[in-house]
Amino acid sequence: MTNFRLGRDVAPHLRPPVCWYHPLVLFKIALDVLSSLNQFRNRDERENFTLPLTLIDRSRSSDDNFWFDFMADTGDGGNATYAVATTALAESVQDTDGQPLLRGELLLLGGDLAYPSASTLEYRYRFVEMFEAALPEGDATTSLVRGQPFTVAALPQNHDWMDSASTFGRYFLRNKQSRQFLEASIPQQQSYFCVRLPHGWWVLGFDFAMTDDMDRDQFEQFTNLLSDQSSPGIGQQDRVILIYPHPVWTTPVSDGVCPGGALRYQLFEGLLGDRVALRLTGDLHHYTRWTSQQEGQLVICGSGGAFTHPTHTRLTNSPIVLQRVDNAQAIPESAGCRVQMGIDDGQHQGTVHAFEKVKGSEFPPLAQSRRLALGNITALFGAGGTWADGNRWFAVLMGVLYLFSSALSASGLGMLLMFLMFGTLCMAIGWEALQEVSPKWPAWRRYGLTIGSSLTHTLCHCGLAWSIAHILPVWVALGMFGTGALLGTLVFGTWLAVMSWCGYLTNNGFSALALQNFKGFMRFKISADGTLHGYFVAIDKTPRQWKIGIHKRPIWEPIPCPLVARVHDSFTVQKSIVPQSTG
């Protein structure tokens, strides 16, 4: 569990990452999820936000180029979060040609700002202090970037909503802080945002809360921007960047769509038409990009500080398609269309466009990601910052389960209880694979893989526990506990390694590894001719030691090795709209 020590003396390396397999962490997350879902079912906090939508206008730039940044999934381990924050808030980063990529006048935060769940202390310990400490010297009351106000806008993700987005709201919506976050201008009053940029560019950030869609007020506020009566509004020749709270395109293209109905974000995309140039999100803690000549770019960039997710899995390497489907069957009647994105499941209707995966864009690289999966074999023995932390307590949990199993193995009913006990644990982790198999597989094959892998995992534990109980004398309880803790944890880690190596468990496959490397953020430039330039700024290795620097801010500097950032991937999007194909 988190040891909340705050202040200058608690450097980034003294703020260890979350130990996701610590039994108390698992228990707390389960309680927080159940509590937040129950609260959300009875009251959607998004319905209480001030209306109308606050327009953040940054359409006037200090020079010909306008720079802005995006990052998501920040507050986990101090080393990674502070490394990203220091790099992003520095004056500039060098690109591959040695040219400076200037610090953004606008910072967009894509959510999941603190882990394992939102709270006042977790936000302060893992997110706020790390960014505040990285802020360079500036004006005492307002942070300026090249003489212009520094602006921040943020979205909450699911971890931010675990306290009903209460902590998120105090920093970004209700302005109750005596000093605003990063001394920045934070004008938004809703958990979603709209930013007007120079040269006809817009950024719209969606909040799906604990659902998979925007609420009615949010939909209507964004739709109003497209009205001829809206001033300023999104014009027919303007280009739009959509920021999603999670990658909606990593589910089957027909997923979540009822016949004759549509999700609100799909209807809104239908209204935007070909004005959408870039869809950007976090949630998965890595970087990867897809491109389409007609539909622009899809980018996942959730590498702001949380533990690294794999890039080699089937979920992030499946063919992605977008289809525009007539919505005339809806009641009440709708003359528009809905836009569906997702993994190709063969359920095609209307106009369909394919997105091509940009080879080499993945960070971490595919081959390295697959090799990292093997680290799961021993990762569950990992230690944390203090004796009370660490995944090693999962080994203690396994020892207790095996010790309890020794008393159950003497009877048939006991064996059944043992099977149910291990099966509950194994099935909870293995069920993720059901969402990652090809949607074109028949149901028997999809469920067969998921249930079969989880059942095999369960039987391994049951067989091992039964064997230990019949090899060792019953009274050797300590031996049963120790052997179960060692061998049972190795079995669990080996199963994670094999499943992850084979391309499954995108979300849980690397959580035990607590990888602090492979971090980064997006930096964008809108040039004078209206072209959007996107750069993924990568940090291959985060420093592991920091000391108080010679300057007042940033507070800490790395030792003994410097912090090195580089441009891993880049792309451009033209201001002119590519005509949509009708075939």
Same domain, 557 and 471: no
Residues 6+ apart with CB under 8 A from 387: none
Specify the pTM: 0.92
What are the phi and psi torsion angles at 124 (to 5°)? -65, -45
Same domain? For 336 and 412 the reply is no
Report whether 269 contacts 204 (CB < 8 A): no
Domain match, 116 and 169 both: yes
359 part of a folded domain? yes
Of 409, 380, 407, 384, the C-alpha closest to 395 is 380
Q: Examine the domain organization and report whether 529 and 474 are in the same domain.
A: no
34, with CB counted inside 10 A (0-12, 13-18, 19+), is exposed
Contact 277, 296 (CB under 8 A): yes
Are residues 306 and 411 located together in one domain of the fold?
no
C-alpha closest to that of 247 among 170, 331, 150, 315:
315
Per-residue pLDDT of the chain (583 residues; tens, 9 = 90+): 677 889 999 999 999 998 888 888 888 877 777 777 666 666 677 888 888 999 999 998 656 899 999 999 998 999 999 999 999 999 999 988 888 999 999 999 999 999 988 889 999 999 999 999 999 886 555 688 888 889 999 999 999 998 888 899 999 997 655 678 988 999 999 999 999 999 999 999 999 998 889 999 999 999 999 987 777 899 999 999 999 999 999 999 887 777 677 899 999 999 999 999 999 999 999 999 999 998 999 999 999 999 999 999 999 999 999 998 888 778 877 767 889 899 988 887 777 899 999 999 999 999 999 999 999 999 998 866 666 778 888 888 898 888 888 777 777 888 888 888 888 888 888 888 888 888 888 888 888 988 899 999 999 998 888 888 777 665 555 677 888 888 899 999 999 999 999 999 998 889 999 899 999 999 999 999 999 999 999 999 999 999 998 888 899 999 998 999 999 999 999 988 766 654 3
* Extended strands (E) in 316-391: 320-326, 337-343, 351-357
CA-to-CA separations, 98 to 94, 101, 145, 404, 567, in angstroms, rounded: 5, 9, 21, 62, 10
Q: Give yes or no for a contact between 82 and 134, defined as CB atoms under 8 angstroms apart.
A: yes
Domain boundary residue, one of 450, 476, 501: 501
Q: CA-to-CA distance for 214 and 263, rounded, in angstroms? A: 8
In whole angstroms, give the CA distance from residue 286 to residue 278.
18
In a domain, 279, yes or no: yes
In a domain, 335, yes or no: yes
Q: How far apart are CA 301 and CA 70, in angstroms?
A: 8
Write the burial class of residue 365 (CB in 10 Å: 0-12 exposed, 13-18 middle, 19+ buried).
middle
Q: Is residue 146 part of a domain?
A: yes
Q: What is the 3-state secondary structure (H, E, C) of 529-557?
A: CCCEEEEEEEECCCCCCEEECCCCCCCEE
CB 101 within 8 Å of CB 92: yes
Total domains in the chain come to: 2
250: number of Cβ within 10 Å: 23
Q: Please indicate, yes or no, if residue 508 is contained in any of the structural domains.
A: no
Beta-bridge partner residues of 351? 324
512 phi/psi in degrees, rounded to 5: -75, -20
Q: Based on the domain organization, do 93 and 136 belong to the same domain?
A: yes
* DSSP secondary structure, 224-271, as one string: HTTSTT-SS---TT-EEEEEESS-GGGSBTTTT--TT---HHHHHHHH
> Angle, to 10 degrees, between the axis of helix 412-430 and the axis of helix 489-501?
40
The Cα-based distances of 372 to 270, 351, 424, 432, 512 in angstroms read: 40, 39, 27, 19, 11
Domain boundary among 475, 501, 527: 501
**Which uninterrupted H or E stretch holds 202?**
strand 201-205
Q: Residue 246 sits in a domain of what CATH number?
A: 3.60.21.10
Residue 581 lies in a domain: no
Asked whether residue 112 is assigned to any structural domain, the reply reads yes
**Cα gap 176→169, rounded to integer Å:** 9
Looking at the fold, whether 463 and 538 belong to one and the same domain comes out as no
Last residue of a domain, one of 501, 534, 551: 501
Same domain for 263 and 162, yes or no, is yes
Whether 187 and 119 map to the same domain: the answer is yes
Same domain, yes or no: 118 and 246: yes
424 and 479, same domain (yes or no): yes
Task: Report the C-alpha gap between 165 and 36 in whole angstroms.
Answer: 10
Q: Are strands 239-244 and 276-281 parallel, antiparallel or unpaired?
A: parallel
- Do the domain assignments include residue 369? no
What CA–CA distance (Å, rounded) separates 164 from 175? 17
- The residue segments making up the domain with residue 430 are 374-501
Same structural domain, 219 and 128: yes
